[in-house]
């Protein structure tokens, strides 16, 4: 018979403390900080080769292409996880691949 002494006992503590996540509210911005953030965002938007606006229900993306092109000269590909648009034979003007686009509403995407 094999007896264990108190020194030989092995104990494990299987109790794990819960994972707590502390989320602090974003600090309030001053009016000057808000204006600077808006100006920075506008400058970033102005540098893009496309323009986009967004509401809760819609995303509108506008591309400027030469006036002599017709719809058949463009390549527009709208999928559940990606969107690309541009002129045939050239690199896309916009190409987005993101799981955020995998919303069920994207199947309603159209272009004109």
pTM of the predicted protein model: 0.52
- Strand locations in 10-93 (E): 50-54, 59-63, 74-78, 82-87
Specify the residue for token string 């264990």: 4
- For 58-84, how does the pLDDT look when each residue is reduced to its tens digit (9 = 90+)? 778 888 888 898 989 999 988 877 889
pLDDT at 97 over 50: yes
Q: How far apart are CA 43 and CA 34, in angstroms?
A: 14
pLDDT in tens, 4-15: 444 544 444 455
Domain with residues 31-108, CATH architecture: Sandwich (2.60)
Q: Identify the residue whose tokens are 């896309």.
A: 92
Among 96, 73, 99, 72, residue whose Cα is nearest residue 84:
96
Which pLDDT does position 12 carry in this prediction?
46
Within 8 A by CB and 6+ apart from 75, the residues are: 84, 85, 86, 87, 88, 92
Q: Structural domain boundaries of the chain?
A: 31-108
Assigned token pair, 68:
């002599």
Query: What does the pLDDT look like over 29-56, one tens digit per residue?
Result: 899 999 999 999 889 888 888 888 878 7
**Which of 90 and 60 is assigned the larger pLDDT?**
90
């Amino acid at each position: 018979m094999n007896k264990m002494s108190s020194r030989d006992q092995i104990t494990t503590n299987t109790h794990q403390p819960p994972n707590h996540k502390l989320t602090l509210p974003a600090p309030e911005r001053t009016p000057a900080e808000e204006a600077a953030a808006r100006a920075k965002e506008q400058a970033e938007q102005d540098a893009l080769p496309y323009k986009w606006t967004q509401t809760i229900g819609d995303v509108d993306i506008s591309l400027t292409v030469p006036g002599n092109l017709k719809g058949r000269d463009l390549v527009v590909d709208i999928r559940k996880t990606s969107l690309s648009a541009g002129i045939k034979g050239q690199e896309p003007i916009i190409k987005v691949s993101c799981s955020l686009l995998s919303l069920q509403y994207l199947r309603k995407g159209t272009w004109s």
